[in-house]
Amino acid sequence: MDTAASLGIMEIIGIAGSASLLAGWRLYIVILGTGLAMRSGVVPLPEHLESLQVLANPWVLGIAGFGALAEFFADKVPWLDSAWDTVHTLVRPVGGAMLALAIVDPGDPAMQVIAFLLGGGGALLAHGGKAGARAAINTSPEPVSNIAMSTAEDVATVGLMWFVYEYPWAAAGVAALLLALAIGLMLAVRRLFRKVFGREKKAEG
For residue range 46-63, what is the model confidence (pLDDT) as tens digits? 565 666 777 888 999 999
Confidence of residue 103 (pLDDT cuts 50, 70, 90): confident
Q: What span, in angstroms and rounded, lies between the C-alpha atoms of 63 and 68? A: 9
pLDDT of residue 4: 38
CB 187 within 8 Å of CB 133: no
**Which of 177, 184, 183 is CA-nearest to residue 160?**
177
Q: How many CB atoms lie within 10 A of CB 103?
A: 25
pLDDT reported for residue 44 = 56
| Axis crossing angle, helix 144-166 with helix 9-40, rounded to the nearest 10 | 100
pLDDT at 141: 64
Out of 47-51, 57-61, 132-136, 196-200, the most confident range is: 57-61
Model confidence band, residue 174 (pLDDT cutoffs 50, 70, 90): very high
